[in-house]
Amino acid sequence: MKLIVTKNYAALSQEAALQIAIAVEAKPSAAIVVATGNTPVGAYEQLAALKAIGQFDPAKLTIFQLDEYLGLAADDKRTLWGWMERAFLTPLGLSPQKVVRLNTDTADAEATCRAYDSAVQAAGGFDLCILGLGPNGHLAFNEPPVEATSDTRVVTLTEESIESNSLYWGGRDQVPPQAMTAGLRPLLAAKLVILLVSGAKKRDILRRVMSGPVTGAVPASFLQLHANVIVIADKDAVA
């Protein structure tokens, strides 16, 4: 894993946007999966700024949703789809039509997951994963313990994820207990993973991810086995 340490969150966002723009310039039709959560929001703003000056062109990308809560109405403000629209698609002027979604508003979640994994395969796998890091080491909602070969599926959130997600929505009772998540199998098969980590709260888990044992108890530790990972972390997140 290559580690880039930045002086603060603003610099992390700039560096992340730069690395994403470089990857997309090398392959404008890349298949990319983009995280929600607070950490990548600044990077997406920077990407919109790069697009405005002609240094980033997302028009040919195939974009995949990373995860979604189960059991929310389509117009519920807590959907991660809504977050993805607000933080990524709208600032970059991208049509929702372009996105391979994890639509949880379905009677057959298993079929949605299989269709998603087939779409990833049809795209030749992910070229780029833009990921955040959960306080419990999760990637997307691949909660510990997890196998590296896990496919896209429905999961039950851990207490730690419910706690961390409660900060977004104003209380633990506002966090749906289940979600659909891209599996570790397609994520770990990506050609490039960019992992964004910010803040002292993530310091201990980032240390375990990067230099602890490779174990399903810390899902992101599987990235140690991946040939092409860039971790971009601000100083506060690095021990």
Residue selected from 5, 38, 163, 185 as contacting ligand PGA according to rule CB under 6 A: 38
CB of 54 to ligand PGA, least distance (A): 29
Output the CA–CA distances (angstroms, integers) from residue 81 to 24, 129, 149, 168, in the order listed: 22, 17, 25, 14
Can you tell me the distance from the alpha carbon of 119 to that of 133, in angstroms, rounded to the nearest whole number? Answer: 24
The reply to whether 67 belongs to the active site is: yes
Tokens, residue 143 = 């909660």
The reply to whether 68 belongs to the active site is: no
Q: Assess 42 for contact with ligand PGA (CB under 6 A).
A: no
Q: Assess 178 for contact with ligand PGA (CB under 6 A).
A: no
Q: Assess 132 for contact with ligand PGA (CB under 6 A).
A: yes
Catalytic residue among 15, 138, 234, 236: 138
CB of 59 to ligand PGA, least distance (A): 27
Residue selected from 6, 14, 19, 39 as contacting ligand PGA according to rule CB under 6 A: 39
Please classify residue 5 by burial: count the beta carbons closer than 10 Å to its beta carbon, then call 0-12 exposed, 13-18 middle and 19+ buried: middle
Can you tell me the distance from the alpha carbon of 97 to that of 99, in angstroms, rounded to the nearest whole number? Answer: 6
Q: Assess 14 for contact with ligand PGA (CB under 6 A).
A: no
Piece of the chain touching ligand PGA by CB under 6 A; list 23-31, 34-42, 176-184, 187-195? 34-42
Can you tell me the distance from the alpha carbon of 133 to that of 187, in angstroms, rounded to the nearest whole number? Answer: 13
Q: Which residues are catalytic?
A: 67, 136, 138, 143
Query: Where does this chain bind ligand PGA (CB under 6 A)?
Result: 37-39, 132-134, 138, 164
